[in-house]
Amino acid sequence: MHIIGSVLVWIVSLAIIGIGALYLARNASNAAGFGLPVLPDPDARGWWQVKGVRDIASGVAPITLFFVHPDALPWLFLVEALIPIGDMLVVLANRGSGARAFGIHGATAAGMIVAAVLLLA
């Protein structure tokens, strides 16, 4: 179970780093793909860049703990599961796609919780 949990941590962490990099590189198309509105206002780009930086840091933190303090990793991952839950609620509150909100953010949160539980078992 520990190996499966560790693999899930790595998959989610690397994926969120990749998503963060996409937000920094291709803001508008990536935002639309995640159910966020694409605003014509050029100032919207800064918000997507903030999300990109947040996502990259959110992926680097568990990888760092994996090597430095593995006993704390499941607890960090449980806390970090609040991020996709919050993202899901933001998308839903702003009338974004429910399928995308649950399918992307909800599934990510569920995977993170499963990984944490497997690491704690």
Question: What confidence score (pLDDT) does residue 49 get?
Answer: 83
User: Please, are residues 97 and 55 in contact by the beta-carbon 8 Å criterion?
Assistant: no
Residue 117 has pLDDT above 80, yes or no: yes
Enter the pTM of the model: 0.82
Question: What confidence score (pLDDT) does residue 96 get?
Answer: 82
Degrees to nearest 5, angle at CA 101 with 98 and 104: 135
Residue by residue, DSSP assigns 27-84 as: HHHHHHHTT----S-TTHHHHHHHHHHHHHHHHHHHHHHHHH-GGGHHHHHHHHTHHH
In the block, tokens 């607890």 appear at 75
Higher pLDDT, 18 or 43: 18
> What is the average pLDDT value for the chain, to the nearest integer?
88
Residue 39 has pLDDT above 80, yes or no: no
